[in-house]
């Protein structure tokens, strides 16, 4: 095989970030954030009195979390295993309660903070960042659409780091079509259309991100046995109320640490755990689940590519074998930067637009807004991957393409290849074509 990178490329020194060999692979102990020197005993006591994680308000917490995620990213990738150490660090730092209102013990952060934090975390480990973003997506759904009694039961647990949430929206029949469901809720006691009694839930899903470790699930179900597939209810199910069976492995090219294997869920849940109105999931999806997915995913993809560029530029500056005044080098760097700038600008404007619509109490279900949200996902998934692909070309066969390189471009390339498949771009382009026919004013962002 011929190295297609720039001639004279110097291999970055491997020992500092060398990938462990099979005989050396062991999981290092989790880093305890609360035990770091910057968290004083006085701080710990003060946070303990308020029931808060001891370091959730320290200004350097996010930077130290990124370090923890980066430390464990290779092990999760190699083993295709859930990054327990990294998620535990997020729990201890209070980050599972990032979007939980302060009155329920959470951090009370907003979408701007979510987008910024997701980018930073993805620079350490894209799999962990995606797990966290999708958990936050479920929290936003609860905060905006769950009933008061359910919120009182769940939000304090989430804020304390006790409840990691996964979503169950794929199906063997419906695939990834979010707004359809095949398996029905069945009433055990009471009326399935009322907020009392119990419901029987039986659900099979081919892809559930972090489902093997989740303490709770938000599950899409057909609203009733006699309901159509587009009459979908969203229901919360606690893991303790379910039988959770793994039905296969998650052994993929990239995003291996998300542990998104297939599951079968069975159990009984109270009817008041239906989120929103029975059969009314479309409103929940358009108001919360879809915009949070596209904003959060795009932030993660951008953050991973941005982190990769940061590492590459540092290496180029230190490498005596590279002439960074070369027009070819500069042109390649400029094209990478161009793609990331475009994603960043569209992401920030789309986040502002979602905040504006929410603040006005309006709906995000207009054709123009749906096109724009879909376009964000399309652009971020394609341009972030393209940017890393360009970086691999610039770095060359060993420094860019090798799994032994400390630049980790190889892992970023594999991870970001999944972006166009994560709610397939073909489906979104088809949807945008249909929506564009309805948007006669051509309302651009």
Q: How many CA atoms lie within 13 A of 405 on its CB side?
A: 24
pLDDT at position 60: 87
pLDDT at position 21: 37
State whether residue 238 is helix, strand or coil. Answer: strand
Neighbours of 219 (CB within 10 A): 26
- Statement: residue 55 has pLDDT above 50: no
- 344: which residues sit within 8 A by CB, 6+ positions away? 302
Residue located via tokens 């001891």: 54
Q: 54-58, 163-167, 209-213, 365-369 — which is least confidently predicted?
A: 54-58
Tokens of 356: 């504006």
Q: How confident is the model at residue 323 (pLDDT cuts 50, 70, 90)?
A: confident
CATH 2.40.110.10 location in the chain:
169-208+215-275
pLDDT at position 14: 38
Query: What pTM was estimated for this model as a whole?
Result: 0.87
Tokens of 312: 């590459």
Helix intervals (H) in 285-407: 290-318, 327-359, 367-395, 397-401
* CATH code at 169-208+215-275: 2.40.110.10
CATH 1.10.540.10 location in the chain:
45-159
Handedness of CA 428, 302, 90, 104 (dihedral sign): negative
136: nearest Cα among 274, 275, 291: 291
| Mean pLDDT over each residue of the chain, to the nearest integer | 88
What is the CA 308 to chain-centroid distance, rounded? 18
Report percent pLDDT > 90 for the chain.
81
Q: Tell me the C-alpha distance between 398 and 405, whole Å.
A: 7
Using alpha carbons only, give the angle 228, 279, 140 rounded to the nearest 5 degrees: 135
Q: Are 179 and 285 within 8 A, CB to CB? A: yes
- Statement: residue 430 has pLDDT above 60: yes
Q: Tell me the C-alpha distance between 412 and 122, whole Å.
A: 10
CATH 1.20.140.10 location in the chain:
281-438
Q: Are 285 and 137 within 8 A, CB to CB? A: no
pLDDT at position 150: 97
- 337: which residues sit within 8 A by CB, 6+ positions away? 309
Neighbours of 191 (CB within 10 A): 12
Count Cβ neighbours within 10 Å for each residue of 164-190 and write b for 16 or more, e otherwise: bbbbbbbbeebeebbebbebbbbbeee
- Statement: residue 117 has pLDDT above 50: yes
DSSP 50: T
Q: Tell me the C-alpha distance between 153 and 243, whole Å.
A: 21
Rg (CA), the chain: 22
Encode pLDDT of 196-240 as tens digits: 689 999 999 999 999 999 999 999 999 999 999 999 999 999 999
Q: Tell me the C-alpha distance between 31 and 65, whole Å.
A: 9
Encode pLDDT of 60-113 as tens digits: 899 999 999 999 999 999 999 999 999 999 999 999 999 999 999 999 999 999
Residue located via tokens 């123009």: 368
- Statement: residue 369 has pLDDT above 90: yes
For residues 151-165, average pLDDT: 98
pLDDT at position 111: 98
- Statement: residue 26 has pLDDT above 70: no
For residues 191-200, average pLDDT: 71
Report percent pLDDT > 70 for the chain.
85
Q: Side by side, which strands form the sheet with 242-246?
A: 186-189, 198-205, 263-270, 242-246
Q: How confident is the model at residue 7 (pLDDT cuts 50, 70, 90)?
A: very low
pLDDT at position 194: 55
For residues 252-261, average pLDDT: 98
Q: Tell me the C-alpha distance between 293 and 61, whole Å.
A: 25
Q: Tell me the C-alpha distance between 175 and 1, whole Å.
A: 39
Q: Tell me the C-alpha distance between 218 and 198, whole Å.
A: 16
Instruction: State the chain's maximal CA–CA distance in angstroms.
Output: 74
Q: How confident is the model at residue 188 (pLDDT cuts 50, 70, 90)?
A: confident
Are β-strands 216-222 and 165-168 bridged in parallel, bridged antiparallel, or unpaired?
Answer: parallel
For residues 398-418, average pLDDT: 96
Are β-strands 232-238 and 242-246 bridged in parallel, bridged antiparallel, or unpaired?
Answer: unpaired
165: nearest Cα among 146, 138, 145: 138
Q: Higher model confidence: residue 187 or residue 356? A: 356
Q: Tell me the C-alpha distance between 36 and 47, whole Å.
A: 15
Q: Higher model confidence: residue 38 or residue 346? A: 346
pLDDT at position 190: 53
- Run of H or E residues at 267: strand 263-270
Fold of 45-159: Butyryl-Coa Dehydrogenase, subunit A; domain 1 (1.10.540)
Q: 23-32, 93-102, 254-263, 419-428 — which is least confidently predicted?
A: 23-32
Q: Tell me the C-alpha distance between 253 and 251, whole Å.
A: 7
* CATH code at 281-438: 1.20.140.10
DSSP 326: -
Count Cβ neighbours within 10 Å for each residue of 259-286 and write b for 16 or more, e otherwise: bbbbbebebebbbbbbbbebbbbbebbb
Q: How confident is the model at residue 245 (pLDDT cuts 50, 70, 90)?
A: very high
pLDDT at position 209: 98
Q: Are 302 and 343 within 8 A, CB to CB? A: yes
State whether residue 246 is helix, strand or coil. Answer: strand
């Amino acid at each position: 095989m011929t190295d297609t990178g720039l001639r004279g490329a110097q291999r970055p020194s491997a020992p500092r970030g060398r990938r462990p060999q099979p005989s050396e692979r062991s999981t290092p102990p989790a880093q305890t954030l609360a035990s770091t020197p910057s968290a004083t005993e006085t701080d710990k006591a003060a946070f303990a009195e308020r029931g808060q994680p001891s370091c959730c308000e320290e200004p350097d917490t996010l930077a130290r979390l990124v370090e923890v995620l980066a430390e464990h990213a290779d092990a999760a990738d190699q083993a295709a295993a859930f990054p327990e150490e990294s998620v535990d660090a997020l729990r201890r730092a209070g980050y599972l309660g990032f979007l939980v209102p302060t009155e329920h013990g959470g951090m009370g952060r907003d979408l701007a903070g979510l987008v910024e934090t997701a980018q930073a975390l993805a620079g350490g480990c894209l799999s962990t960042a995606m797990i966290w973003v999708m958990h936050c997506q479920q929290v936003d759904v609860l905060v905006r659409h769950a009933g008061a009694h359910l919120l009182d039961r769940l939000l304090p647990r989430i804020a304390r780091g006790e409840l990691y949430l996964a979503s169950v929206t794929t199906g063997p029949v419906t695939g990834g079509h979010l707004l359809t469901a095949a398996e029905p809720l069945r009433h055990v006691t009471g009326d399935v259309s009322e907020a009392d009694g119990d419901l029987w839930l039986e659900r099979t899903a081919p892809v559930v991100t972090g489902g093997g470790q989740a303490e709770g699930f938000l599950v899409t179900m057909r609203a009733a046995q006699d309901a159509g597939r587009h009459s979908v209810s969203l229901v919360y199910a606690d893991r303790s109320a379910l039988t959770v069976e793994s039905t296969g492995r998650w052994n993929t090219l990239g995003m291996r640490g998300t542990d998104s294997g297939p599951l079968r869920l069975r159990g009984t849940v109270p009817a008041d755990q239906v989120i929103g109105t029975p059969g009314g999931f479309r409103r929940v999806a358009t108001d919360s689940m879809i915009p949070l997915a596209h904003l959060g995913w795009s932030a993660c993809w951008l953050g991973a590519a941005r982190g990769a560029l940061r590492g590459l530029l540092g290496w180029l500056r230190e490498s005596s074998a590279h002439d960074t005044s070369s027009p070819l080098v500069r042109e390649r760097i400029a094209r990478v930067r161009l793609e990331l700038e475009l994603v960043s600008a569209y992401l920030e404007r789309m986040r502002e637009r979602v905040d504006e619509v929410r603040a006005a109490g309006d709906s995000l279900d207009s054709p123009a807004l749906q096109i724009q949200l879909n376009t964000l996902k399309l652009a971020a998934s394609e341009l972030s991957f393209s940017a890393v692909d360009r970086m691999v070309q610039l770095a060359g066969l060993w420094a860019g393409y090798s799994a032994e390189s400390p630049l980790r471009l190889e892992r970023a390339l594999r991870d970001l290849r999944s972006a166009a498949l994560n709610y397939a771009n073909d489906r979104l382009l088809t949807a945008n074509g249909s929506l564009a026919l309805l948007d006669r004013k051509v309302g651009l962002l």
